[in-house]
Amino acid sequence: MVHYMRICVAVIGAGSWGTTVAHLTAHNTETVLWSRDPAVADQVNTKHQNTKYLAGYDLHPGLRATASFEEAVSCADVLVMGVPSHGFRSVMENVEKHLRAWVPVVSLTKGLEQGSRLRMTQIVNELLPGHPYGVLTGPNLAKEILAGDAAASVISMSDETVAMHMQQIIATNLFRVYTNPDVIGCELAGALKNVMAIASGMADGLGTGDNTRAAVITRGLTELSRLGVAMGGHEITFSGLAGMGDLLATCISPQSRNRHVGVELGKGRTIEQIIADMNMVAEGVKTSSVVMELAEEHGVEMPIAEEVYAVLNEGRSAADAYKGLLGRRSRAEMHG
């Protein structure tokens, strides 16, 4: 355990993953978790739990929570952003009013901004130029980490020295953190894999077997790597924890929100019905349309993402989507 007693980590967003990261950093240094809901903040402080998102799991007793945005941000020596992509910019605009100069900003968000198609670190750099920025990403299911299962993740920062410090602040005995200088690749891998997880879930919802799931995951990795490299990511990143690792966990775990969306689509439910029953965001739903725009812009073929987009936005059934994929002309595996 490494102690950084003079460093205060502020985590913005008390959803399942934001809370879990705050729990991890609280092992090593002073940590403040901001929750929009005062009841959640009070529960973290008095009972060391967040039953709204993580019922049955205890949080580090040193973790402190607050419903005061100004209090959380103004104390930060490191700011961790754990809010969904659709609210990221507006929250960052508020951060700008209270954050001291040069404080590093780490995004936990695995999505792309609608309209602008920006990655979250691009939004950070736009609104807070000069601040080191980066992402924490990988195959990290919140409840497994809180249960004490071993896991690994990747920290990628615009400043390598900051990345090494962040590595020590986040890591625990059972949570291993690697550094990777490829911010673009790490961030894109986290966003793009959510679309593939919906496809994998659709296969499960349709009752297909492990052969189908393996094919979807493998070809999904090919698609997201192809686009990621075209957008400036490094190919090796997509075969590591940020790419293949995160894709595997998200495609096969019952805890995965995006896989859950796919499963329910495979069972014949509409996306509106599915979202209405969820209390957390499945980023792949919104990301699918951005991915198709980017694929067209970069001239990258993404048939799996295309079918997921059609199911989510054009009323296509999951069964028809799979028929569409199977009906495609066979090509060399390394095509494209």
C-beta of residue 132 within 8 angstroms of C-beta of residue 102: yes
Nearest to 155 by CA among 177, 176, 174, 173: 177
Phi/psi at 11 (nearest 5 deg)?
-105, 120
pLDDT value for 325 = 74
What is the residue-wise DSSP string for 172-237? Answer: -SSEEEEE-S-HHHHHHHHHHHHHHHHHHHHHHHTT--HHHHHHHHHHHHHHHHHHHHHTT--GGG
* pLDDT by position in tens, the chain (length 336): 454 447 999 999 999 999 999 999 999 999 999 999 999 999 999 999 999 999 999 999 999 999 999 999 999 999 999 999 999 999 999 999 999 999 999 999 999 999 999 999 999 999 999 999 999 999 999 999 999 999 999 999 999 999 999 999 999 999 999 999 999 999 999 999 999 999 999 999 999 989 999 999 999 999 999 999 999 999 999 999 999 999 999 999 999 999 999 999 999 999 999 999 987 788 889 999 999 999 999 999 999 999 999 999 999 999 999 887 766 566 666 665
Between CA 93 and CA 282 the distance in angstroms is 23
Strands 151-157 and 133-137, bridge-based pairing = antiparallel
pLDDT given for residue 335 in this prediction: 61
- Write down the H helix ranges in the chain: 16-25, 38-47, 51-54, 69-74, 85-98, 120-127, 142-146, 160-170, 183-205, 210-230, 246-252, 257-266, 271-276, 283-298, 303-313, 318-326
- How is 224-268 classified by DSSP, letter by letter? HHHHHHHTT--GGGGGSIIIIIHHHHHHH-TT-HHHHHHHHHHTT
Q: What per-residue confidence (pLDDT) applies to 323?
A: 83
193 given a catalytic annotation = yes
Show the domains of the chain with their CATH numbers.
4-181 (3.40.50.720), 184-326 (1.10.1040.10)
User: CA–CA distance from 285 to each of 29, 207, 231, 260, 317 (Å)?
Assistant: 35, 21, 21, 11, 15
CA-CA distances (angstroms) from residue 107 to 144, 263, 326? Answer: 21, 28, 37
Structure confidence at residue 104 (pLDDT): 98
Task: Tell me which H or E stretch contains 31.
Answer: strand 29-34
Closest listed residue to residue 90, CA positions, set 12, 188, 184: 12
Considering 193, 267, 286, 323, which one is annotated as catalytic?
193
